[in-house]
Amino acid sequence: MTDITRLSAADLAAELSSGTVSSVEATRAHLDRIAAVDGDVHAFLHVSDHALDVAAEIDRRRSAGDALGPLAGVPLAIKDVLVTTDMPSTSGSRILEGYMSPFDATVVSRARAAGLVPLGKTNMDEFAMGSSTEHSAYGPTHNPWDLERIPGGSGGGSASAVAAFEAPLALGSDTGGSIRQPAHVTGTVGVKPTYGGVSRYGAIALASSLDQVGPVSRTVLDAGLLHDVIGGHDANDSTSLADAWPSFADAAREGARGDVLRGLRVGVIRELPDSGFQPGVSTAFRAALAAMEARGAEIVEISAPHFEYGVAAYYLILPAEASSNLAKFDSVRFGMRVNVPGGTVEDVMAATRDAGFGDEVKRRIILGTYALSAGYYDAYYGSAQKVRTLIQRDFASAFERVDVIATPSAPTTAFKLGEKIDDPLQMYLNDVTTIPANLAGVPGISIPAGLADEDGLPVGIQFLAPAREDARLYRVGAAVESVLVDTWGGPLLDRAPVLGGAR
């Protein structure tokens, strides 16, 4: 029989519902895989000790004839930014070491209700600040394509878990690219939904006007299946949209078989400079566009003159919101407390925050506090919000002319661990193509586009659509995926190096 861990979530779900594989078998296979490779990859911060019990219960319900959802019995990895009642939730920070939440994030309770089996919590940059997982207080995750390289961030744990076949599906969060950039560097699929499309309740907040939870997977269909489970209105999230969403899995299926690319207008941004993009990234991106063109897509040059100011605006808005969100870690309400004998309450707070937060978190709290302080608010935060409006207008006028916008998902392939850790600006610039979608609230998907010539590492292509048009991204993503996988003669991840001898 084929190795269970190599199956897509959709194929595994089919085996589960036909009874050829049980959820206990599927869960055990993934736990074994984690045991074999995660010492090298370090995708997980915590592995569930009762996943097999959860799986056994799904098997029992299935044999009792209960009506189960399409993903029932399929294992799921959960980014540690999402709170869970049965496993610690640290958000990659020392300040929350061992923290147990009294409630589940909405996306987690929906996943449980749909019968998915939580395998564990995945590593991330502290409070989701970073592009490499090197800012995790618990050590970095390694890229399964090359263990010396970054898996992207902040959701490098979720992306690596899926790329290393430790989990068929994972949950991530994307504030400026933390689902899409890890997908790009690991050869996986990642979706940032429309702002408000997926509940943020129980997602430990980084920047509330930018944060979105979304799916991480190896195929577009799998991402759609998970999105269908987690998405939709949630009264516990005040920014949740009340829309009735179509099935994203159906959209992906339609894209994979239909003629979606014929007549599709694909916008390419004139102002995105070729310089700063690694040559192999540009080449893979253009090859993917050419494959789309050969199937009848029309490539249209569009202007988005404010796109390139996204990073600057983001690094004022994000720290401002983060500094406010992180004020709750005050040594009283959550997590760790450093005692200061004879000290005041302020001394205890200061000592706790000093010991509990890492350098990048402190850097952003200082930046954000400064940007919001009296006398500077208009000059910094106010100006950044104006740039945000200009970027939203760029998108609005572009989407009058095109159906989707395409960009490389990031400017470089996976860089070496340690390479950018001392150069925050270089780290920030890695998100130049992902950040504008968060500023504008529009959805984005990253799918594998190929391997870069110079280093043989994965490159992703990103598609962006107007707000609420997530289904369009699944149709187009699945169409492009099927064209490219045909050209390659199989999925890109089949070419990733063998890890742990277990494959």
Residues forming contacts to ligand GLN in the complex (CB under 6 A) are 128-131, 153-154, 174-178, 206, 318, 431
Measured from the CB atom, the residue of 84 and 178 that comes closer to ligand GLN is 178
Alpha helices in 74-155 (DSSP H): 106-113
Smallest separation (angstroms) from ligand GLN to the CB of 319: 9
Smallest distance, Å, CB 180 to ligand GLN?
A: 8
Our CB check for ligand GLN shows the closer of 181 and 278 to be: 181
Select 209 or 283, whichever has its Cβ closest to ligand GLN. 209
Active-site entry in 8, 178, 217, 482: 178
Specify whether 324 is catalytic: no
Helix, strand or coil for residue 463?
strand
**Looking up tokens 């049980």, which residue turns up?**
22
Residues 6+ apart with CB under 8 A from 181: 131, 152, 153, 409, 410, 430, 431, 434, 446
Q: Considering Cα of 441, then 442, then 445, then 446, what sign does the dihedral take?
A: negative
Closest CA to 302 of 382, 399, 392, 370: 399
Q: What is the DSSP letter of 379?
A: I
416 is catalytic: no
Rounded least distance, CB 35 to ligand GLN, Å: 29
Q: What is the distance between the alpha carbons of residues 56 and 64, in angstroms, rounded to a whole number?
A: 12
Q: Which of 125, 146, 123, 39 is nearest to 416 (CA)?
A: 146
**Nearest distance in Å: CB 318, ligand GLN:** 6
Contact 38, 62 (CB under 8 A): no
**At closest approach, how far in Å is the CB of 282 from ligand GLN?**
21
> 154, 240, 323, 331: which one is catalytic?
154
CA distance 327 to 312: 23
Phi, psi (5° rounding) for residue 370?
-65, -50
Residue nearest to ligand GLN (CB): 178
Residue 128 Cβ, how far from ligand GLN at the closest point, in Å?
4
The Cα–Cα gap between 305 and 464 comes to: 16
Residue 502, burial from CB neighbour count under 10 angstroms (0-12, 13-18, 19+): middle
| Catalytic (active site) residue 154 | yes
Closest CB to ligand GLN among 130 and 255?
130
DSSP 459: E
Q: Based on CB atoms, which residue is closest to ligand GLN, 154 or 219?
A: 154
Rounded (10°) CA dihedral 422, 176, 363, 366: 160
- Closest CB to ligand GLN among 403 and 431? 431
- For residue 61, the Cα-to-chain-centroid distance in whole angstroms is 31
Residue number with CB closer to ligand GLN (206 or 479): 206
Q: In terms of CB distance, is 33 or 227 closer to ligand GLN?
A: 227
Least distance (Å) from ligand GLN to the CB of residue 91? 10
Handedness of CA 17, 22, 27, 32 (dihedral sign): negative
Q: What is d(CA 120, CA 166) in angstroms, rounded to the nearest whole number?
A: 10
- What CA–CA distance (Å, rounded) separates 179 from 447? 11
SS3 state at 107? helix
Q: Which member of 23, 48, 79, 331 is catalytic?
A: 79
Cβ of residue 81: shortest distance to ligand GLN, in angstroms?
8
SS3 category, 444: strand
Which residue, 132 or 219, has its beta carbon nearer to ligand GLN?
132
- Compute the distance between CA of residue 28 and CA of residue 51 in angstroms, rounded to an integer: 9
CB of 76 to ligand GLN, least distance (A): 20
Length of the chain, in residues: 503
Closest to 414 measured CA to CA, from 218, 140, 174, 192: 140
Q: Which residues are catalytic?
A: 79, 154, 178
